[in-house]
Amino acid sequence: MTPKYALITGVSSGIGKAIAVELSQLNINVIGIARRHTDLNKKQQNINTIEADLTKNESFDTIPEKINKIESIDYVIHCAGQAGEFGALLDINPTEISHSVELDVIAPIKLLQTIKQKLSNARILFIGSYSATQARHN
């Protein structure tokens, strides 16, 4: 049987980490992307991590070389996000909004474009930031 591979962002904590651990326990090989160091690959045999900040263009240059030996990726799960609340709409800092849009919208598209040769039949899931579920008022 051909091994299955999942590429998951945001694996240093939260839902990304939980999904990575769960899939590894189902014998799916996980390539985890995290902005900050994580020791998941020491705790789980079939998790390999890549340190990359998906809001920086240079991160997308290093990802292909890290996955070049993998024939195809079966699952892509984008969980990278930022914690915190923005507050009232009229008080939101535009820099925070730009960063959030970069991470939640632009980064997963860039990621897919970067690895598209590996995605022949991949299942893709984008999980947005917590703030997407919160009502805002002024």
Domain 1-82 grouped into CATH 3.40.309.10: no
In this prediction, residue 129 carries a pLDDT of: 62
Residue 102 CA, chain-centre distance (Å), reads 13
Three state DSSP letters for 38-102:
CCHHHHCCCEEEEECCCCCCCHHHHHHHHCCCCCCCCEEEECCCCCCCCCCHHHCCHHHHHHHHH
**Global pTM?**
0.85
In this prediction, residue 138 carries a pLDDT of: 43
Placement of tokens 């014998």 in the chain: 27
pLDDT category at 13 given cuts 50, 70, 90 is confident
Give tens-digit pLDDT for 15-66.
999 999 999 999 999 999 998 877 766 677 789 999 999 989 999 999 999 9
Pick from 124, 9, 15: which is nearest to 74 by CA?
124
In this prediction, residue 122 carries a pLDDT of: 94
Give tens-digit pLDDT for 100-117.
888 888 999 999 999 999
